[in-house]
Amino acid sequence: MTDGDTALTNLLGLPRPALEAFVAQLGSKPFRARQLMNWMYKRGASSFEDMTDLAKDFRARLGAVAQVRPPEIVATQNSADGTTKWLLRADARQAFEMVFIPEADRGTLCISSQVGCALDCSFCATAQQGFNRNLSTAEIVGQVWLACRELERLAVADGAADSGGGDERHVTNVVLMGMGEPLANFRNVVPALSILLDDFGFDLSRRRVTLSTSGLVPQIYKLAQESNVALAVSLHAPDDALRNELVPINRKHPIAELLQACWHYLDEQNGRSVTFEYVMLDGVNDSPAQARALARLLKGHPAKVNLIPFNPFPGTRYRRSPLPVIQRFRDELLQRGVLATIRRTRGDDIDAACGQLAGRVIDRTTARLGSKTFGVAVQP
């Protein structure tokens, strides 16, 4: 809750109950917390002096002990397809990334939960960077706050703010699919989710907030008790032998155990379905036989498969499956009653596509989960 460089508490890291407790310590009523949230999340204010319906003495007390501070932008890249990637400062040496993907009917913001990643998935650029640390709740929420403000600024600059052009210039969906494994940072991610969903926060529908996990089974069960967002699972293989190679956490939590946790999550949260992400690797996991095996795993369950064309990065040994192979794989699933779609690659010209986020991870403080020390980076 407290900023690492100062004694000031970053209010972006406080869900409503914690913010109510914070203002109570300053001698104010709980409704002041709702006013603060309205200013921060609905109006994008970061200066207490701008919060004009707060009493002047209360604003002064806030200024002495608190701040609204999003991550700092190190660099911005814009793709030819309209995708924007921001490199954000974690500290003097480390950096992480977030990506905004505009579409005609939505604007999806892909945010990070860690600086690097310890799960060591062999086809992912982030995993090859190693792991430094978890992002704080304020750093997670601050990404959404910052993106909303930056997009609004850009819209005003180009005259599109009131053009009626739809949602493509605004954040309508948030996906935790950036750098890191969200469930390995459970303690900071869950409060961030509550702020995204809170009526006085970003007020997003639970179906418009998606958490993607590589398969930390105990944390999926725990998430079912503490939050209610859409769940996406990085599956990438129809059998344990191959998934052990591609997603090493599978050695600890094999596919059958993972799927049982997924169906439990839906039962507890009255969810519509789980999305299973499946990156298409040429000659590795893309055969019709593997599609049929995947269909046997998922048929009869509330599942949909998102087939992701592999996005290359320097040093990788994998190649993207040809489009006809991906289409054949999709058709095999559809013919067997499993909903399947092919993700359109966005932002690959600026290394912003799925699996390409690398940030800047210089100090690697934790061993990868592919080693013998499974679970070393998981925060309860």
Q: Which of 97, 139, 181, 277 is catalytic?
A: 97
Distance, CA of 229 to chain centre: 12
Cα angle at 71 between 70 and 75, to 5 degrees?
A: 135
Burial label, 187 (beta-carbon count in 10 A; 0-12, 13-18, 19+)? exposed
| Active-site residue flag, 97 | yes
DSSP state of 317: -
- C-alpha 35/C-alpha 212 separation (Å) is 32
| Helix%, strand%, coil% for the chain, nearest 5 | 40, 20, 45
- C-alpha 71/C-alpha 138 separation (Å) is 9
Distance, CA of 37 to chain centre: 22
Contact predicate 246/277, CB 8 Å: no
Amino acid present at 86 = W
| Active-site residue flag, 148 | no
Q: What is the largest CA-CA distance in the chain?
A: 69
What Å distances lie between residue 234 and 181, 201, 218, 250, 275, CA to CA?
11, 28, 16, 11, 9
- C-alpha 59/C-alpha 35 separation (Å) is 12
H or E element at residue 378: none
Catalytic residues: 97, 354
